[in-house]
């Protein structure tokens, strides 16, 4: 048996996230059922992380072990998967690495738009009820580079040994009325991106002043409103490993701008 890393992408609209759960559809359950149909045996696919209900992935890795005969058939999986899940690549490893534990960097993108558009409804989050000041949002967004402790932006901080994260890259891009916020870090806490986006929008709508925002980031002041941004705008966009050199870029989801 050899370990394989499979690269996939999926639209999470019809699923309750990656992880299997009783009585609800998940990406993991759907994917494993198709692999089992192809191979004729039970399998467990270990994902690189979890995504929430309705959240998408432009790039997601999972690992499973296959023998030589099975590895020659695994590419046929692409035709068995539903339209909202795609197989992008199959990578054979020389040693048994873990898709979740060995991640070097994860990058998320959050897309939001400000005018109702039916073609964006399931792929970007609509925020049209406030007069958002995007220059203020951009300033507040880039100030995250100086933050290490994200306890206030975690849904379950007590579940972690610590709530420190190393932000490695931030990118603010707006084009054709669509704003894309990119966050890259060594790790992310539960619901961290959605809490951050919701809070940034409060800053942009002046519910939180930029001075208050700086105090919150320093933990001198508590976050006044703990809420999550809508799930449909969030994408796991890139996952990198030190032993994989063919990781694709963040450009795939940027096709949203070509509409």
Catalytic sites, residue numbers = 52
Phi, psi angle pair for 225, to nearest 5°: -130, 115
Where does the chain have alpha helices with state H?
A: 27-39, 68-71, 77-80, 134-142, 192-204, 210-217
How big, in percent rounded to 5, are the helix, strand and coil portions of the chain? 30, 25, 45
CA angle 51, 238, 23 (to 5 degrees): 20
How far, in Å, are 136, 189, 205 from residue 10 at the CA level?
Answer: 33, 21, 32
How many CB atoms are located within 10 Å of the residue 10 CB?
24
Q: Are 185 and 104 in contact (CB under 8 A)?
A: no
What are 160's two structure tokens?
Answer: 């972690």
Distance of CA 253 to the CA centre of its chain: 12
How many CB atoms are located within 10 Å of the residue 189 CB?
21
Three-state DSSP string of 28-80 = HHHHHHHHHHHHCCCCCCEECCCCCCCCEEEEEEEEEEECHHHHCCHHHHHHH
Q: Distance (Å, rounded) from C-alpha 74 to C-alpha 88?
A: 12
């Amino acid at each position: 048996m050899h370990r394989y890393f499979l690269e996939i992408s999926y639209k999470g609209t019809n699923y309750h996230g990656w992880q299997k759960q009783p009585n609800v559809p998940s990406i993991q359950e759907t994917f494993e059922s198709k692999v089992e149909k192809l191979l004729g045996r039970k399998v467990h696919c270990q994902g690189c992380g979890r995504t929430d209900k309705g959240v998408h992935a432009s790039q997601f890795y999972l690992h499973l072990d296959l023998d030589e005969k099975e590895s020659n058939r695994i590419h046929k999986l692409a035709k068995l998967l539903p339209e909202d899940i795609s197989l992008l690549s199959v990578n054979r490893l020389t040693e048994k690495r873990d898709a979740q534990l060995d991640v070097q960097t994860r990058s998320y993108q959050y897309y939001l738009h400000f005018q109702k558009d039916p073609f964006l409804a399931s792929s970007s989050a609509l925020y049209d009820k406030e007069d958002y000041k995007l220059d203020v949002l951009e300033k507040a967004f880039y100030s995250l580079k100086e933050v290490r402790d994200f306890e206030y932006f975690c849904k379950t901080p007590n579940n972690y040994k610590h709530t420190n994260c190393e932000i490695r890259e931030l990118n603010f891009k707006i084009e054709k009325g669509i704003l894309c916020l990119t966050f890259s870090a060594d790790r992310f806490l539960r619901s961290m991106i959605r809490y951050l986006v919701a809070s940034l929008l409060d800053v942009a709508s002046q519910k939180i002043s930029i001075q208050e925002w700086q105090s919150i980031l320093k933990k001198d002041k508590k976050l006044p409103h703990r809420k999550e941004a809508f799930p449909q705008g969030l994408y796991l966009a890139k996952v990198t490993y030190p032993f994989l050199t063919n990781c694709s870029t963040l450009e795939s989801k940027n096709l949203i701008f070509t509409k």
